[in-house]
Structure 1
Amino acid sequence: MRRKGDLPTKTCAQCGKPFAWRKKWERVWDEVRYCSDRCRAEAKRGRAG
């Protein structure tokens, strides 16, 4: 088992905060850009308007 500090991290494209790898993102980690559903929704709303 890995420690939380050993997991890979990315920076959210919307809010700029760092976030860590999650098991549910295991297969799509390269495609993950946002730390949460809220940031993803805000990014979509910002592009459309």
Structure 2
Amino acid sequence: MQRKADLPSKTCACCRRPFSWRRKWARSWDEVRYCSQRCRRQARAARRHREMSP
């Protein structure tokens, strides 16, 4: 078993906090950009807001 400190980590594109590898991301670790669903929703809402603003 690996220690959490030995696992790879990334920085969240929304909140800029570091997050570690999770088993559920094993197959898609390269595509993971956000630490949580909340950050994913916030980034999507912000992008939509920017597109609608003149």
TM-score, length of structure 2 as denominator length? 0.90
Structure 1 CA distance, aligned partners of 2:47 and 2:34?
15
Q: Does 1:19 align with 2:15?
A: no
User: 1:1-49 to 2 correspondence within 5 Å?
Assistant: 1-49=1-49
Equivalent position amino acid for 1:27 in 2: R
Structure 2 CA distance, aligned partners of 1:28 and 1:15?
20
Q: Which has the larger radius of gyration?
A: 2
Aligned length: 49
Structure 2, gaps ≥5 residues long: 50-54
1:24 aligned counterpart, secondary structure: helix
- Please, what is the CA RMSD of the aligned residues? 0.3
1:48: how far off?
Answer: 0.3
Structure 1, gaps ≥5 residues long: none
1:29 aligned counterpart, secondary structure: coil
Over the matched positions of the two proteins, sequence identity in percent amounts to 63
TM-score, length of structure 1 as denominator length? 0.99
